[in-house]
Amino acid sequence: MRIEDSFLLHASKEDIWNLFMNVEKLGSCVPGCENVKALSPTEYTAKMEVKVQFMKFNYEAKGKMKNIVENESIEVEMNGKPLSSLAGPFQNNILIKLEEVEPRKVKIHYIMDAQAEGKLASLGDVLMKGSIQKTADQFSENVQKLFVGENV
C-alpha cells in the first residue's frame, strides 16, 4: 500500500533535520512507539503497537536510515516482527523530503510504501489507510509540539 502526503512544521529546516536524525527523540513522537534504541547513527530498534480500528498488534521493529542527503531527504526502511502469532510481519519504506517554504516554515513530504502479512494485512487497504493517516496526523502534531517550546 502506497501513501503520499505532506504536512507543515513551523521551525527551521536545520532544527527539523536534527530532530529527524535523533531517532530516540523522534520515536517519542510516533504513536505507539516505545523503547527506541539507537544501534548506530543510522540503525535503531523499537517496540511498536499498531492500532487498526479495534485491534492492536505489537511488534519488535528494526529501522535503518539510508540515502541521506543532509537537510534535504532521507529514506527509512523498517521491518516489524510480531510479538504474537495473531499478526504477521510488516515492512515499511518511507522517503522523506524537507522543503523550506519560507523561513521557519518547512513542508515535510513523505511517500510510504507499507506491506503487511497475516491478520494485519487481512484488514484491507481502506482500514489500513485510515489508521495510517490518523497516525501520521498524530505524529505531525507531536513533532510540532516539540518546536512550540523550542525543546528540541
pLDDT tens track, the chain, 152 positions: 888 989 999 999 999 999 999 998 888 889 889 999 999 999 999 999 887 777 788 899 999 999 999 999 999 999 999 887 777 888 989 999 999 999 999 999 999 888 877 765 666 566 667 777 788 888 888 888 888 765 44
pTM for the model stands at 0.83
Sheet holding 73-82, edge to edge: 2-9, 105-117, 87-102, 73-82, 55-69, 43-52, 33-38
State the cell numbers at 5. 502526503
Asked if residue 132 lies in contact with residue 3, where contact means CB atoms within 8 angstroms, the answer is yes
* For the chain, domain boundaries: 2-148
Q: Find out if CATH 3.40.50.920 is the number for domain 2-148.
A: no
